Amino acid sequence: MRELYPEIEPYRSQRLAVDGLHELHLEECGNPDGLPVIFLHGGPGAGVSPYHRRFFDPARYRIVLFDQRGAGKSTPHAELRDNTTAHLVADIERIREHLGIERWVVFGGSWGSTLALAYAQAHPERALGLVLRGIFLGRPGELRWFNELDGGARWIFPERWERYVGHIPEDERDNLTEAYWRRLDSADPAVRLAAAQAWGYWEGGSTTLIHDPDEAGNFEEPQAAISLARAEAHYFRHDVFLQPDQLLRDVDRIRHIPATIVHGRYDIICPMKSAYDLHLAWPEADFQVVLAGHSAADPAIVDVLVRATDALADRYA
């Protein structure tokens, strides 16, 4: 099985103002003359991590990563004004133009797969290929599956769910996303942080196939917890700012683009039904289901992702 490429440091980091409010953290790694690829992180609100650089051969790729609005090192932190899917799609195109890149590979997982699809469908002429992991189409059923009482995830991780739902009084549990949002938007910093950490504990610890209910997850640190929880609740309560079934409806715009779709059979955060629906709408894409959960770091998922980026490098670089 293929493994991640060795750790690598950026050869350039910079700030990019995309409007009068938001300034993005942007970094480039690998070969400045290599095949350009844009990495789209999950969340929304999660930000990029050093291991995200390692899905690409640094000798053959010009690897572009950025923190989306309000996430990671982008500023203002956890800012939700002028923060919608359309704004993020426009930011990706702004980054491409700023870096003088004509066309590039688009790589995204989880929320990053949503954003990759939305961007490619808006700008199909700019995408050389797509690599998509942990498909999330932003449909109401997907949102309710993981975050609401009538979803199915709570039956699989009941110990972890107990803390998530227990943070909200019983008389507010008919809409947990809205109940969390009221706390995440509180003027009291302690209320915001407590809600963010409860939200992050539920999601961040539910990514792996081998589950430890006592594992804190990936979003225990206050800054990361707040940006993730605020952004996700903001996007989820607005149906991720997409029209109903938009990403399936518009898939014909990108069916000619080489693509790999990989999904963990036992992904609890993004159920496999979404990946399968995308596969049915896009039969030309290479569709691979592996024995894994949601995490991009799962060895079975890493294997497919690295093989996919290597194949695109073989084709274009």
| Catalytic residue ranges | 110, 267, 294
* Residue type at position 304: V
Give yes or no for a contact between 21 and 77, defined as CB atoms under 8 angstroms apart: no
User: Strand runs (DSSP E) across the chain, as ranges?
Assistant: 12-17, 23-30, 35-40, 61-66, 104-109, 127-133, 259-264, 286-290
Give the max Cα distance, the chain. Answer: 58
CA–CA separation, 283 vs 299, rounded Å? Answer: 25
Q: What is the DSSP string of 220-250?
A: -SHHHHHHHHHHHHHHHTTGGG--TTHHHHT
Number of C-beta neighbours around residue 6 at 10 A = 8
Give yes or no for a contact between 61 and 37, defined as CB atoms under 8 angstroms apart: yes
